[in-house]
Amino acid sequence: METTLIILKPDAVQRGLMGRIISRFEDKGLQVVGGKFMKISQELASEHYKDHVERPFYASLVNFMTSSPVLVLALRGNGAIAVCRSMMGATFGSQAASGTIRGDFGVSNSFNLIHGSDSPESAGRELKLFFTEGEVLQWDRASEGWIYDLSSGTAE
């Protein structure tokens, strides 16, 4: 099982899309193992997006991410990172396929509703930025055996 960071960005929060987006992840079978509604500080946004510091959009991205509350989630599932990225769709809403979160809810190339970790390494780093020890929980769902074939002892 893999755990990934998802951030519902200020535009998703302001447009009232949080519940609809969380439902998509849960409907897919992903497990919410952590969540925070928060206002990201300039310092946290700068650290989170430090790999983009040389890019021309960096300052506007940090300003956008600190402009309004966000919902930060830790989602767990078999291949959660790839599953979430596929569900999110292409970075730009105008290019995202219908049926994806960005394709169904977004059209802007600047406001793209959602962030998701792009690798196990970034997920580990990002989860530590937003969650402290004990805030990402390990808990058993009664439905787990109906989401994954567990007959071999591992989730398939």
Asked if residue 113 lies in contact with residue 9, where contact means CB atoms within 8 angstroms, the answer is: yes
Catalytic residue check, 115: yes
Asked if residue 155 lies in contact with residue 29, where contact means CB atoms within 8 angstroms, the answer is: no
Question: Which residue among the candidates 17, 102, 115, 136 is catalytic per the annotation?
Answer: 115
What sections of 15-79 are H helices per DSSP?
Answer: 18-28, 42-48, 58-65
Distance CA 40, CA 9 (A): 10
Neighbours of 131 (CB within 10 A): 20
Q: Which residues are catalytic?
A: 115
